[in-house]
Amino acid sequence: MDAGAPVPWWRIAVVYHVYVRSFQDTDGDGVGDLPGVLQRLDYLADLGVEAVWLSPFYPSPQRDFGYDVAEYRDVDPVFGTLADFDRLISQAHARGLRVILDLVANHTSSDHPWFVESRSHRMSAKREWYVWRDPHPDGGPPNNWLSFFGGPAWTLDPHTGQYYLHHYLPEQPDLNYRNPEVLEAMLEVMRFWLERGVDGFRVDSASHLVEDAHFRDEPPNPAWRPGMRERDRLLHVHTEHQPETHEVLRHFRTLLDRYSEPGRERILIGEVYAPNPILVSYYGTSESPECHFPFNFALVDLPAERWTAEDLKALVEAYESSLPDWGWPSWVLGNHDRPRVASRLGEERTRLAHFLLLTLRGTPTLYYGDELAVRDVEILPDQVRDLPGLREYGGRWSRDAARAPMPWDDSPGAGFTTGTPWLPLPPDFRVRNVVAQRQDPGSMLHLVRHLLHLRRQTPALSVGAYRSLPTPPGVYAYERFTDRERVQAVLNFSDRTRSVEAAGEILLSTHLDRFGRGRTPVELRPYEGILLRPSA
């Protein structure tokens, strides 16, 4: 970036992921809706986030809760209307909040009119909008590709005698981006929402948009062991990260850039699970950019036993060193597909994890409810609503556990609904809710609010550079700095008190009980982090 150039909003922003079904219900049907998000915009503005990423709300049979889109340019009645969306975006912008939509670009619902026409006969005008192949000579699927949700990635259509590709449910057929008509159709979808004022898109399953043109079998994974998921039996070299996928993303980015202007950039975020060398390829190049940033899930994937100062320092520095000069980092702690961070780490380390998330260099994304340290809910097999979880795990595990309704207060419906919630409420919602934590000055909610407001007030935290600092074992410390300002984050990831040489003004502790001039050495309590402004 040129010296003195204004900083794009997305570099300063903290993104808040709203799973719309579970955020706020306004009509008593037990399912969250767009008017509910509108109702809670003041909460989000007060929390201190700058952007809201909405999970899919398009018309859908809801087999994968909106990630099976039956119509891209409308709102499912369960979530409201287009007029509700227009009011939401207008009111969000009035509060300084940006709105990012989920773009489910890899596949549609099998109920989408495009697919209904595509499967009607082999000579259909939309036949090549999806990926169709003749059976293998033995009559089975065309190759050995596997679905994320168990079983082959191919389903036979008896009417036409060919198999269609689906990386997810059979009811989620993959679009064929080798057909330029498909790309143009998706660009038209993006134009529709951009004209309504959206500030960007998160591209679902961005790494799977295009597959190998020769449909070659994927090789076996030598690291696979019994107990690992079925899909991991193979190395997905022919179904992920294909060169043509980057070409599609470049087209998406070009469109967004046409709609952008200084201070109103429209952004592209990619959902990409990959090691650093592959992940950073989704930035594109400075001449041909792709994503403004792909989500970095390293903190989500890191096992709890490796949440140590040494492992985290190595993880951060490996990621930082892999970024291109024009690349801006991204950090994520949780999402709607993974167990919640408080269930993975426990409450003490969850406080420290959010301190890390919100003080590292880059754009962080918060998952709704994590600011309260909400845990996964227990979902009994007969309560599972997640169809992929039922199909792959027989109800023994499902993503429902991380999707429970937001606990706003201690009323019978947790302030989420006046009806019966679509999933069980968190079992401790009567004591762990927004109202209760607002009244507790030492709560997780207050810690997150303090961190978010400090980011806004401290350029070194929001846009400054990063460098690590020497520390004793068990402690991870780093400095964020600009030409005019320095702050230091010192995090004790051990279960023992650690003594650290650090002099300056303490701006914040994860315990929320000490501020002001610190003495050196500083005694860090177990799992405590402090942010300080060092002495000159």
Residues 6+ positions from 326 with CB-CB distance below 8 Å:
283, 286, 289
78: three-class secondary structure by DSSP: coil
Please give the structure tokens belonging to residue 196: 């309504």
Phi–psi pair at 487, nearest 5 degrees: -135, 155
Please give the order of strands across the beta sheet that includes 516-518.
465-469, 475-481, 486-492, 529-534, 504-509, 516-518
461: three-class secondary structure by DSSP: helix
Q: At 402, which amino acid appears?
A: A
Calpha distance 193→199 (Å, rounded): 9
Calpha distance 530→219 (Å, rounded): 48
Partners of 481 in the β-ladder? 465, 486
Owner of token pair 């699927």? 141
Helix (H) or strand (E) holding 533: strand 529-534
Annotate 11-40 with DSSP letters as a single string. Answer: HH--EEEE-GGGT--SSSSSS--HHHHHHT
Calpha distance 348→363 (Å, rounded): 23
> Among candidates 521, 473, 518, which has minimal Cα distance to 499?
521
271 an active-site residue? yes
Calpha distance 356→364 (Å, rounded): 10
Confirm if 486 and 532 have CB atoms less than 8 A apart: no
Peptide bond preceding 521 in cis form (omega within 30 of 0): yes
204 an active-site residue? yes
Calpha distance 59→68 (Å, rounded): 9
CA 299 to chain centre: 12
- 489: DSSP letter: E
Calpha distance 331→467 (Å, rounded): 17
**Given the residues 271, 320, 371, 528, the one annotated as active site:** 271
Calpha distance 381→395 (Å, rounded): 5
93: three-class secondary structure by DSSP: helix
Calpha distance 39→28 (Å, rounded): 14
Please give the structure tokens belonging to residue 206: 């961005």
**Given the residues 33, 64, 76, 204, the one annotated as active site:** 204
Instruction: Name the residues annotated as catalytic.
Output: 204, 271
